[in-house]
């Protein structure tokens, strides 16, 4: 199934043989699922309940994926999600949003256009949902929104509404879905509860999770002054790795262009009557290499943009501020710690292991801590104070110690915290994954 759920793409060609894009026809089987979703929602079922039922019944969602809360509810403001797609009432809306490139991350981010900029085309032949059913769903959405805003939706809304320290950062290590509040006190895998398609049912108290993460970071940030050199080194190392990735891609593209020219020259020579049996073997080799390069480039990701030299100063400021916030009390210091964390951590992954949760911290902070540990080990090696474990980290597979930047480059940019039983405070220790 291509395009919008509930429709099939109609393949047509013009007189020149060029594809005519945009034509659709109603997929009757999927259309009935769309109507079922609207009927169940209007009858009082929540999007989460509807998703669980659809997955339980073995009904594939859009792009053959599992159904989830967001697939059904989406965003009324952006017009996405089954309950908000106006194509189901015979209206095609274009230019609802635009995409811009974030100058720091290099990623595309969406921005909603004003309603005056929307382009709307009436297409009554594409209507799937009757107007009365659509209107009833909109009324219920508005009622739920008002109840939520006034705190009447459930008794614990006010406690849940406040953004907790690690909100939006936690992910399930089994399915990759979000780890979010599942009760007033615990966080768990959203996919396991909303879709029923993830096996990770382990939950952890939000307060315990925050204590373990902050406790581990606090122990590693006792002297922020030591981190200044590591922030500089981290910025340099990340830029070196990104430049290597960029050079590798450019080399592949250059070689591909050279091979194309060689193939063309060989074909031209054959066309001019200069065929020799050795040309076939040469062409076979060129075509094989061309296919290999095209496959590599198709799966390669563009390296992110280089970090600005001033980013080292930014990292120093954020790490120093994070350490100061962690030394403070609850309240403003805790809020500041959350803001600092978000600038340095991309995600925190919780994975079940032997009945407990391991916690992997990903992002720039993990890289900075890794470099810090590598430098600390380097100094200890030179002082002759290595323990057996430290030597193991420092060695290559051939037993020879790694040198300088090689240690930094080979260490994974992540830090692991083990969340065990609540009385095991020694489990706050940070473990670098090699």
Long-range contacts of 104-112 (CB under 8 A, 24+ apart): 104/305, 105/304, 105/305, 106/302, 106/304, 106/305, 110/78, 112/77, 112/78
Spatial distance between the Cα atoms of 345 and 364, rounded to a whole number of angstroms? 6
Structure-derived torsion over alpha carbons of residues 165, 171, 172, 176, reported in degrees to the nearest 10: 170
- Token look-up 């999007």 returns 47
Of residues 230, 231, 218, 226, the one with CA closest to residue 429? 218
Beta strands per DSSP E along 113-261: 119-122, 170-172, 179-181, 186-189, 204-205
248 vs 71 pLDDT, higher one: 71
Distance of alpha carbon 217 from alpha carbon 345, whole angstroms: 12
Domain range list for the chain: 7-150, 156-245+305-434, 246-299
Residue percentage of the chain with pLDDT more than 90: 12
Q: What percentage of the chain has pLDDT greater than the value 70?
A: 55
The Cα–Cα gap between 190 and 182 comes to 8
Pairing state of beta strands 170-172 and 347-353? parallel
pLDDT of residue 269: 86
Q: Are 3 and 24 in contact (CB under 8 A)?
A: yes
pLDDT digits (tens, 9 = 90+) for 305-357: 555 555 555 555 666 666 666 555 555 555 666 666 665 677 788 999 988 89
* CATH 3.30.110 describes domain 7-150: no
Per the document, the length of the chain is 434
CA dist., res. 241 & res. 304, Å (int): 10
Confidence of residue 151 (pLDDT cuts 50, 70, 90): low
What is the per-residue pLDDT for 146? 72
- Per residue in 75-120, pLDDT tens? 887 778 999 888 899 888 776 666 676 666 566 666 666 667 667 7
What sections of 347-420 are H helices per DSSP?
Answer: 364-383, 388-394, 404-410
The reported pTM is 0.40
Is residue 156's pLDDT more than 50?
Answer: no
Determine the Cα–Cα distance for residues 418 and 45; give it in Å rounded to an integer: 38
State the chain's mean pLDDT as an integer: 71
pLDDT of residue 88: 92
Of 146-150, 238-242, 345-349, 415-419, least confident by mean pLDDT is 415-419
Q: What per-residue confidence (pLDDT) applies to 175?
A: 92
Q: Please report the pLDDT score of residue 202 as a whole number.
A: 92
> What letters, b where the CB count within 10 A reaches 16 and e where it falls short, cover 104-113?
eeeeeeeeee
**pLDDT digit string (tens) for 258-287?**
999 999 988 888 888 887 888 888 888 999
158 vs 281 pLDDT, higher one: 281
């Amino acid at each position: 199934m291509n395009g919008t759920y509930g429709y099939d793409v109609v393949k047509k060609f013009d007189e020149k043989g060029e594809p005519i894009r945009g034509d659709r026809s109603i997929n009757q089987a999927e259309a009935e699922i769309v109507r079922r979703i609207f009927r169940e929602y209007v009858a009082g079922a929540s999007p989460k309940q509807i998703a669980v039922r659809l997955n339980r019944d073995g009904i594939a969602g859009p792009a053959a994926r599992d159904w989830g809360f967001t697939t059904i509810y989406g965003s009324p403001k952006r017009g996405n999600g089954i309950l908000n797609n106006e194509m189901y009432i015979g209206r095609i809306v274009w230019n609802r949003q635009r995409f811009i490139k974030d100058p720091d991350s290099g990623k595309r981010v969406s921005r909603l256009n004003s309603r005056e900029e929307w382009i709307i085309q009436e297409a009554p032949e594409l209507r799937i949902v009757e107007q009365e059913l659509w209107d009833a769903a909109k009324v219920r959405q508005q009622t739920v929104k008002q109840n939520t805003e006034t705190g009447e939706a459930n008794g614990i809304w006010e406690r849940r509404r406040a953004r907790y320290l690690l909100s939006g950062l936690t992910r399930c290590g089994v399915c990759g879905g979000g780890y979010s509040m599942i009760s007033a006190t615990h966080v768990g895998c959203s996919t396991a509860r909303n879709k029923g398609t993830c096996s990770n049912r382990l939950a952890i108290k939000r307060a315990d999770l925050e204590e373990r993460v902050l406790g581990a970071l606090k122990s590693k940030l006792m002297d922020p002054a030591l981190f200044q050199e590591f922030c500089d080194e981290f910025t340099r190392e990340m830029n070196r790795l990104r430049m290597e990735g960029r050079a590798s891609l450019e080399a592949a593209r250059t070689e591909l262009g050279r091979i194309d020219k060689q193939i063309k020259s060989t074909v031209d020579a054959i066309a001019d009557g200069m065929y020799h049996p050795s040309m076939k073997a040469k062409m076979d080799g060129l075509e094989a290499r061309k296919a290999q390069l095209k496959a590599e480039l198709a799966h390669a990701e563009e390296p992110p943009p280089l970090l600005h030299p001033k980013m080292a100063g930014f990292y120093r400021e954020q790490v120093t501020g994070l350490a100061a916030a962690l030394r403070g009390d609850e309240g403003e210091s805790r809020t500041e710690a959350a803001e600092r964390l978000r600038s340095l951590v991309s995600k925190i992954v919780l994975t079940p292991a032997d009945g407990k949760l391991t916690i992997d911290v990903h992002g720039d902070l993990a890289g900075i801590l890794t470099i810090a540990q590598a430098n600390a080990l380097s100094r200890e090696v030179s002082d002759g104070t290595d323990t057996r474990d430290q030597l193991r980290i420092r060695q290559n597979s051939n037993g020879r110690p790694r040198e300088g930047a090689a240690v930094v480059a080979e260490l994974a940019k992540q830090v692991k915290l083990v969340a065990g039983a609540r009385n095991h405070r020694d489990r706050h220790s940070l473990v670098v994954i090699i």
